[in-house]
A and B are shown apart, each in its own frame.
Chain A
Amino acid sequence: MEMLIAIHDLVNQFGTQRIHDGLNLDIYRGEVLGIVGGSGSGKSVLLRTMLGLNTPYSGTIQFQESARLKQHWGVMFQRGALFSSLSVADNIQFPLREFTALTPEECHALMLVRLAMVGLERSVAAKFPAELSGGMVKRVALARALALDPVVLFLDEPTSGLDPVSAEEFDQLIGTLHRNLKLTVVMVTHDLDSLFSTCDRIAMLVDKHVIVGTLQEILANPHPQIQAYFSGGRARALLRGN
């Protein structure tokens, strides 16, 4: 498989507190990678470091040629990070207007397509972020992340705050995009449902490193933290279902 992002010997340190210590992670083209770990294990820091929002203490992160430009990334932040002074329509069109030579009509039409993709009605387009519910903010944020048809999609807790139906639709949408676009998806998640149903591989942050593997490999790993993470009632119920 083709490697898209290679993280090598990453060290992140805040003051004397070391978050990642020589972390290695390879992300392949076309996979859906779920990053999991307990609270404070450095999931978000890892994601921010990949996105260049956090300068690592040492180590390298290499992107393959096709995913090097930021226009090839779609990023969905945990709380949406919608521009609060722009309407939903302008939020989604922002990347289209800034980075492409499309006409305003085409931008508008493509914006409506993105809204349909995330399952929102077109009447939402005229609203402002402050008028949206939490779930709608997530969907609009995803629509904006998808605006430029990214090569790699970074999602920070995409399904938190969504109702179960929306969360499942969200998982299906990721599946569809993944199938048709061979889209690479990197998601930080706590949602065991989407972890089990959408993710090809799981990267678990343990002891300042990652342990990567398919769901079965991770479940078979005897590390006590991994066992603790997947031995809760919710995880076992899901595993029985599968």
Chain B
Amino acid sequence: MIELRQTSRDGELHLHLHGEWTFAQVVAIKAALQQVQPSAGTSLVVDAQAVARLDVTATWFVYQQVQRWMQQGYTVRFDHFPAEYLGYFAATAASDSSPSPDKGRLGGVSFSHSLTTLRSFITFFGHSLAALFTSLFSPHLFRFRAVFHHVFTTGISAVPIVALIACLISIVITYQGGGQLRDLGAEIYTVDMVTISVLRELGVLLTAIMVAGRSGSAFAAEIGLMKTNQEVDALQVMGKDPFLILVVPRLVALVIALPLLTVLADIVALAAAALISSTILDISFVQFFSRVAANIEFRTFAAGLIKSPFFAVVIALIGCWQGMRVTGSSASLGEHTTKAVVDAIFVVLLLDALFSVLFYRLGF
């Protein structure tokens, strides 16, 4: 496809390019250029007059070879080459400067980074609270439709999966605990064990973790994409506080939805436990629920439920905050969505531990 014809004239070696000098021919081009072995002292002329097609990459390889010849002391001239191409190469070579030195990692960078992050969260928290109070005292600013929408997406559409998880975990505890207690002849205590563990801890905790995974990530991704798409900026320049429109409805909706989901999880878990008890432990439904009514106080249920609004606040705020921290790239969106879930679950578990200590101290 390509050809490099050599002719000698007036003591000059003329190299004529023929054929299609294009990217597809790079290997052939390199080989053809390697074959030229000018004798010492001759001047070379590279001529592109007869070439059928000449693209930038092919020209660049010729240019590189010419640079090498010039370093070896030959005089080389370009004839009939597109001046623009040579201009690009000259511009590239001229700006050839050493790469900027790597910035050394400074000690304390990560410490100051975590301080910045903490400050960012505190600012966000304050701004959200301010927006929440603003909307509480001026109801016309409060966006009921958005709240209903988010109650639906975070609460009602989560009902099947939350019910399933509650059902499964209750089956696991009943089987495991019931098996152990039957060996002691105390299988009736399975009822107390399942009920207390589900109502106090597992119902609320698993629901919160599920919602953190579902809705926390969704909040971060929704707000993050709006941020990259400059929709948040658009709200701001219209004089609408983005917190009022984006954060407050999500926060309020989750504070409504999560306790309701928790109640649902408790009911489903107890029903599943009753069912399993009646099949493997010979404890009838009547026995099961009369024992629950007699032995389990209302505050056991309340101790679980009271935690869920706090978990909801944590999940919503961390999700929205991470969403607001997204910058341009898709990598950043992924990073902050991940953080939204991981941080929310971590803080939920931390809060749960604190609540346990608190309730123990209070004798609750």
**Residues in chain A within 8 A of chain B (CB atoms):** 84-85, 100-102, 109-110, 112-117, 121-122, 126, 128-131, 146, 148-149, 176, 179-182
Instruction: Return the chain A residue nearest B228 by Cβ.
Output: A130
- B8 interfacial contact with A, CB 8 Å: no
A182 and B27 CA atoms in complex are apart in Å by: 22
Kindly specify which of B128-136, B245-253, B323-331 makes contact with the partner chain.
Answer: B323-331
Contacts of A102 in B (CB 8 A): 26
The residue that B84 contacts in the complex, of A115, A131, A176, with Cβ under 8 A, is: A176
Residue in A122, A131, A149 whose CB lies within 8 Å of B57: A149
Determine if B60 and A110 form an interchain contact, defined as CB atoms under 8 angstroms apart: yes
17 intermolecular pairs with C-beta atoms under 8 Å apart: A85-B329, A100-B23, A110-B57, A113-B60, A115-B92, A116-B89, A116-B91, A122-B92, A128-B329, A130-B327, A131-B328, A149-B56, A176-B84, A180-B54, A180-B84, A181-B53, A181-B55
- By DSSP majority rule, is chain B's interface helix, strand, loop, or mixed? helix
Among the interface residues B95, B329, B331, which one has the most CB atoms of the partner chain A within 10 A?
B329
Q: Which residues of the partner chain B approach A149 to less than 8 Å between Cβ atoms? A: 22-23, 55-58
**Number of B residues, CB within 8 Å of A:** 28
Taking a contact as CB atoms under 8 Å apart, the answer to whether A85 and B331 are in contact is yes
- Does B285 have its Cβ within 8 Å of any Cβ on chain A? no
Q: Tell me whether A128 and B328 are in contact (CB under 8 A).
A: yes
Given A109-B64, A117-B88, A129-B329, 6 additional A-B pairs, CB 8 A: A115-B92, A121-B95, A126-B100, A130-B327, A176-B84, A180-B82
Q: B54 touching A85 by the CB < 8 A rule? A: no
Contact partner of B26 (CB less than 8 A), chosen from A100, A109, A179, is A100
Which are the 8 A-B pairs with shortest beta-carbon distances? Answer: A130-B328, A84-B329, A149-B55, A85-B331, A116-B91, A116-B88, A149-B23, A180-B82
Minimum Cβ distance to chain B for residue A138 (Å): 16
Tell me the residues in window 310-333 of chain B with beta carbons closer than 8 Å to chain A beta carbons: 327-332
A240: min CB distance to chain B, Å: 31
A84 touches B60 (CB 8 A): no
Say how far A149's CB is from chain B's closest CB, in angstroms. 4
Bound: A176/B84 CA distance, A: 7
| Whole-angstrom CA separation of A121 from B91 in the bound complex | 9
- Looking at B27, B56, B60, which has the most chain A CB atoms within 10 Å of its CB? B56
Contacts of A100 in B (CB 8 A): 23, 26
Q: Which residues of B lie under 8 Å from residue A131 when comparing CB positions? A: 328
Q: By the criterion CB–CB under 8 Å, are B328 and A129 in contact?
A: yes
A-side contacts of B22, CB under 8 Å: 149
Chain A residue contacts of B27, Cβ below 8 A:
101
A residues near B97, Cβ cutoff 8 Å: 122
CA distance A128 to B329 in the complex (A): 8
